[in-house]
A and B are shown apart, each in its own frame.
Chain A
Amino acid sequence: MKEATALKPIRKITWKASVSLRRISASSVFLYAACLVVIFMTACAIAPQWIAPYSPEVMDPNQLLQPPGAVHLLGTDYFGRDVFSLVVYGARDSLLIGVASVLVGGGLGGVIGALSGYIGGWVDVIVMRLIEILMSIPGILLALAIAAAVGPSLFNIVLAVSAGVIPNYARVMRSQVLTVKNKPYVLASRSIGSSELSIFLKHVLPNSLSPFLVMATVGIGSSILTSSGLSFLGLGVIKEIPDWGTVLSQGRGYLTVAWWICTFPGAAIALFVLSVNVIGDRVRDTLDPRKSGD
């Protein structure tokens, strides 16, 4: 402790130089690992039949609740389905929901926030009050209520998860637009007679995007968390090929006899979200060096 604190001033001085060195070290290993995980799981989502050893629909009555082993890498469930194959096939819906929710929720929130901030005046006041109201209901609760209301389908789950994230994106986008729209280059553009629309699209929007993009990257992870929470509570899509949250939820009843059914789909969720967050942190550092925390 003493030694470490004594070294502090030196570290302070070499801070700038150490940034580049540090980046090739441990955190880079993490970044590469995270990229590998994301690539592998995306491959699972696109072409699960090439990766999974069994079909997720094949039930083998002679292989019920087998522990992880050579034949079944991650064991089998109570129907005799291979858990590894279930996890591989489950990637498709889980990732699809995550990405689609960010596209829908982030897109809507971004547009609302950007317009509200740029137009300003009473439009901004009203929109921001509505956003504030939406924010007072925690995202997953809103998603729960909507999912229960509209019933389980892939589209509805995306709708439910998106609704919960709209306010966050709107606020981030708005605050950024508010800063950018008062920059000298916007004034310059206006003074040479550019139309408001072209100022908005050409100058304000592109210069306001970076915090939004960071949020969207990390948002894929949190949308997967929310949607798998819905599946866990029994509001997920009921299909022959279940997503990660549903597999986990179904395995809960067998926790004392077959820990592997719950553990591995959960690990897949955690690993994917963790990787997305690692990448998101790096995106943040790259886009906004001022805020570099890592």
Chain B
Amino acid sequence: MTGAITTRLFSSLLVVLGSSMLVFIIMYLLPGDPVLIMLDGNASTPEAIASLKSHLGLDQPFYVQFYRYFIHLLQGDFGVSRVNGDLVLPKILEHLPATLTLTLVSVSVSLVVGILLGVLSAIHRNGVIDFAARFIGLFGISMPAFWTGILLLLLFSIQLGWFPAMGSDGWKTLVLPGLTLGLIGAGFIVRMVRNTMLEVLGEPYILTLRAKGLSERSVMYGHALRNSLIPALTMIGLTVGELLSGTVVTETVFARQGIGRILADAILSKDIPVVQGVIFFTAMIYVLTNLIVDISYSFIDPRVRRSQLKGGV
């Protein structure tokens, strides 16, 4: 099994490197002279512009720039911001915890709400609870994050004054953004859990359990739920990706610190090194989460473990 994990780890690494190269290529094809954007309309002599260009290595052909970028990336050098000259890596590392905390809170909200509603919905199939849960699920995946955020702001900050409208200090500032993103994730998970739970309830072994006289509670929570949670686990991996991209909008709405907000600002000011850096980290978190999810299958599901021991991945 260690072999399988090593292989997956290696291919994940390749994916992250590949995605950062892809972003480099996209950004290279970007129209607009980065040096002129840096100078931001400040009058400058053509000589000064040329020297700045050669200082940044932007006068080199594509393959040289690409090679340099790649070598620097492997050395952990993400370059400097073209807007204010800050080193990219420390800036990202400084803001990363805030985003990770927000993502973690939102994933927790998603899981708790999503699994709870999904299970209740399947158990009370076609009842009022099912109807409500399904509607909440649909609502979660249909609401734009910025709108949910603004509505929550209007109600809980501006009208009721319970939570601060902006900032990122203390747990109180986490509640509204966490809910905003959590509801989206919950929407995906409710639908997933409900569907798999209904599928599992149709399996012959559930009939067997009922036939042998097991209590309904034990059938539901002891057997059906446990078997329904495996697909929900896959959803965690995908939800993290969804929520990470959601942080760009959510951090902007709630004026929170974080790499999502850095990305939004960097994109508007065409600060390419920062954009590349943030996307690299986002891709890494996303790929890592999915790797962990994949590996945890083998601990949770004996069938996967057995097939891995036989040599499959």
Which listed residue, A137, A233, A245, A259, touches B154 by the CB 8 Å rule? A259
Give min CB distance, B254 to chain A, whole Å: 12
Q: Please determine whether B31 and A151 come into contact, CB atoms closer than 8 angstroms.
A: yes
A274 touches B123 (CB 8 A): no
* Chain B positions within 8 Å of A8 at CB level: 216
Task: Determine which residue in A130, A225, A256 has the highest number of CB atoms from chain B within 10 A of its CB, and name it.
Answer: A225
Query: Interface residues of B: mostly helix, strand, loop or mixed?
Result: helix
| Interface of chain B residues 202 through 257 with chain A (CB within 8 A) | 210, 216-217, 220, 241-242, 244-246, 248-249, 252
- How close is B96's CB to chain A, nearest CB, in angstroms? 15
Q: How far is the CB of B17 from chain A (nearest CB, A)?
A: 9
Contacts of A5 in B (CB 8 A): 123, 216-217, 220
The residues of B that contact A133 with a CB separation of less than 8 Å are 15, 18-19, 22
Partner of A145, one of B191, B201, B244, B267: B267
> Which B residue's beta carbon lies closest to that of A18?
B126
Cα(A5)–Cα(B145), bound, Å: 36
Interface magnitude class on chain B: 35 or more
A188 within 8 A of B: no
Residues of A within 8 A of B126 (CB): 11, 18, 22
In the docked arrangement, what's the CA distance between A146 and B217, Å? 51
Q: A4-B124, A136-B286, A141-B282 are known contacts. Are A248 and B26 too (CB-CB below 8 A)? A: no
Q: Does B283 contact A (CB under 8 A)?
A: yes
State in angstroms the CA–CA spacing of A12 and B198 once bound together. 11
Are A233 and B248 in touch, CB under 8 angstroms? yes
**How many residues of chain A have a CB within 8 Å of chain B?**
58
Q: Which residue of A lies closest to B275 (CB)?
A: A145
Q: Which residue of B lies closest to A26 (CB)?
A: B131
Q: Is B195 at the interface (CB under 8 A from chain A)? A: yes
A60 and B201 CA atoms in complex are apart in Å by: 61
Residue B142 at the A interface, CB < 8 A?
yes
B195 surroundings in chain A (CB, below 8 A):
291, 293
Given contacts A5-B216, A148-B268, A229-B249, contact A138 B242 (CB under 8 A): yes
A270 in contact (CB, < 8 A)? yes
Does the CB pair B198–A293 fall under 8 Å?
yes
* B251 to A: closest C-beta gap in Å: 11
Most buried by A among B26, B244, B268: B26
Chain B interface: which of A38-46, A194-202, A261-269? A261-269
Are A262 and B194 also in contact (CB < 8 A) when A136-B283, A150-B30 are? no
Chain B positions within 8 Å of A, measured between CB atoms, are: 14-16, 18-19, 22-23, 26-27, 29-31, 123-127, 131, 134, 138-139, 141-147, 150-151, 153-154, 158, 191, 194-195, 198, 201, 210, 216-217, 220, 241-242, 244-246, 248-249, 252, 263-264, 267-268, 270, 275, 279, 282-283, 286-287
Interface contacts beyond A136-B287, A149-B26: sample of 17 additional A-B pairs, CB < 8 Å, sorted by A: A5-B216, A6-B216, A9-B210, A132-B15, A136-B283, A138-B242, A138-B286, A144-B264, A146-B26, A149-B27, A232-B249, A255-B150, A255-B158, A270-B142, A270-B143, A293-B194, A294-B134
Interface CB pairs A-B, < 8 A, 15: A4-B123, A4-B124, A26-B131, A133-B19, A136-B18, A137-B282, A141-B245, A141-B248, A144-B264, A225-B142, A229-B249, A262-B150, A263-B154, A266-B151, A274-B142
